[in-house]
Chains A and B, each alone.
Chain A
Amino acid sequence: MSLPPATGAVELGSFKQHVIRLLTQSKRLDGRPFDSIRVPHILYENRQDTKINRVLASTLYTDDTGTCVNCIVTGVFGPPPPQHPEEGRLTVEVTAPFFPGYSAFQIEGTLHELARFVRSTIISCLDLTELCVISGEACWVLRVELIVMNADGGLRAATLHAAVAALHNLTLPKARLPSGDVVESRCLCFHRIPVAATIGLCGTAGSMQFLLDTNAAEESVADVLLTVVIDETDGIVSFLHHGRFPLLLPHLTDAIDMVASHGAALRSAILKSSNLPQ
């Protein structure tokens, strides 16, 4: 469900006890209030001078406490999927090469789940027929590769924001098919722009504490983890809930309202750098 936190030389059990003690005192590990998010920063890399690469976009997602995700989008021509001949193809791959070797097996399932989450969320916000070149014969095959350099909680939100920043206003270049047809350049646009945040719930005696934008240490001690994805109209794009006990409806609506109150800030942080003139 989550990548293990980096505890350094401290044992994980002692680290969890320390985090639980801080949460009972209404404190967080990095000193944030319970309802604040870590504002992301997107670095958009211009690599147009290197013509041998098929890299269409490259973004680097960072926030204040060290989560770092590199997103690289490459595109080639290929046949469309047989069940949807009028659509293009989009593949998402998530790797975390800088984790220690002994934990590579346990995090592989987490990375696969992350890739499926990012792909399904992007497909629900992006029209894949824009990637179609010739119906049934040729289409753009976009490959989104997400490299998790540093993981500090909220990985679904971080990877989704990095991918959305790379894919929004992506220019598919002018190219020539092997049959000789010239494909004009096209701009890829989202019809709704998703933003996401992870919320952790800690159930103490009778009271429920909401932790907005959890880090890795809080995810290891939280009883319930929610990931909320909303669009510009505060419509719910995706909702994931993992936990030890079921939640009542007011908790779910409170969680969605917490993310919706920060949706505009997240969206402007993701899209502002992408629209800079290259």
Chain B
Amino acid sequence: MKRNGGRETPDGVRYPHIALDVLGQCHSSACVELGNTRVICAVHHPQQLVDEYRGSRGRVACTVRRSASAGSHSAGSAQPSVVTPEKDMSLALEGVAEEVVILEKIPQLLVEVVVEILAEDGGVWDAVATSMSAALVSGGFEMHDLFSACGSALLSDGAVVLDPDAAEESNAQASALVCVMLNSGEICYARHQGSCEPGTVLELVSSAMKGCLSRKSAITTQLINHPIL
């Protein structure tokens, strides 16, 4: 089967290209391209928590914004609504960041993370998680592990594909997404959409985990080769 991004097999993944420190005004930033999906993540300078006192732990606040021209989802909506998929993604990413970043090292500090989705062709969660992990690492925040995400989809012909693009995502019967720490293999976030049998859900999740860990060498190599880190 012929797939997007030069892939031939159902378990082929698109490997991310990471560019660090792409924005000059932020504390740290990362740009990740995954096929035709492009995401920029910026971490602002940490600021004192003013409105809320968090004791001995800091806080990571995340905002995900989608460019209006990023994908084809904005064709039907004339006005931006209050409840968006980006809001769900930002809340989930805050939970992931609380698990990964050692918040006791930054007490009473607020770390603001802004993610901008510039171009979208499936794999948005993969690119966003990878860029956020790269931006936090290059910003010098102590973390337990790197993290990344991968999706998998059950197509209408019964095939399970890894890292679906936009066409495969829209035609899928069910899809799963897993956000995994790369070295320890612990799952930070998992999501399933659609309807299928319980055995297929397990197959989707395990395929997504396999795809996530297969990108580990590509991600760590690009981060290690950066002159700052």
Binding site for B on A (CB under 8 A): 6, 8-9, 47, 49-50, 52-55, 58, 66, 68, 70, 72-74, 76, 93, 95, 97-102, 143, 145, 147, 149-152
Contacts and interface: CB of A to CB of B under 8 A. Distances in A.
Could you say which of B67, B71, B75, B166 has the most chain A C-beta atoms within 10 Å of its C-beta? B67
Interface in B25-72: 25-26, 29, 36, 40, 42, 44-45, 47, 61, 63, 65, 67-69, 71-72
Given A76-B75, A98-B25, A98-B42, A147 B166 contact: no
Interface of B: 22-26, 29, 36, 40, 42, 44-45, 47, 61, 63, 65, 67-69, 71-72, 75, 112, 114, 116, 118-119, 121, 166-167
A102 to B, nearest CB: 8
Nearest to B166: A52
Nearest to A8: B45
7 A-B pairs closest in CB distance: A6-B25, A72-B69, A66-B24, A98-B42, A74-B69, A97-B116, A97-B65
A152 B114 CA distance: 19
A135 B104 CA distance: 65
A6 B29 CA distance: 15
Nearest to A147: B67
Contacts, number: 76
Nearest to B116: A97
B25 A53 contact: no
Nearest to B120: A53
Contacts of B26: 98
B24 A53 contact: no
Contacts of A58: 69
A93 B67 CA distance: 11
B29 to A, nearest CB: 8
B116 A143 contact: no
A22 B23 CA distance: 26
B114 A98 contact: yes
B205 to A, nearest CB: 27
Contacts of A102: 47
B75 A54 contact: yes
19 contacts: A6-B24, A9-B45, A50-B119, A52-B121, A53-B119, A70-B118, A73-B69, A74-B69, A97-B63, A97-B65, A97-B116, A98-B23, A98-B29, A98-B114, A98-B116, A100-B45, A145-B67, A149-B23, A151-B25
B44 A100 contact: yes
Contact of B69 (A100, A101, A143, A150): A143
A100 B63 CA distance: 11
A145 B68 CA distance: 8
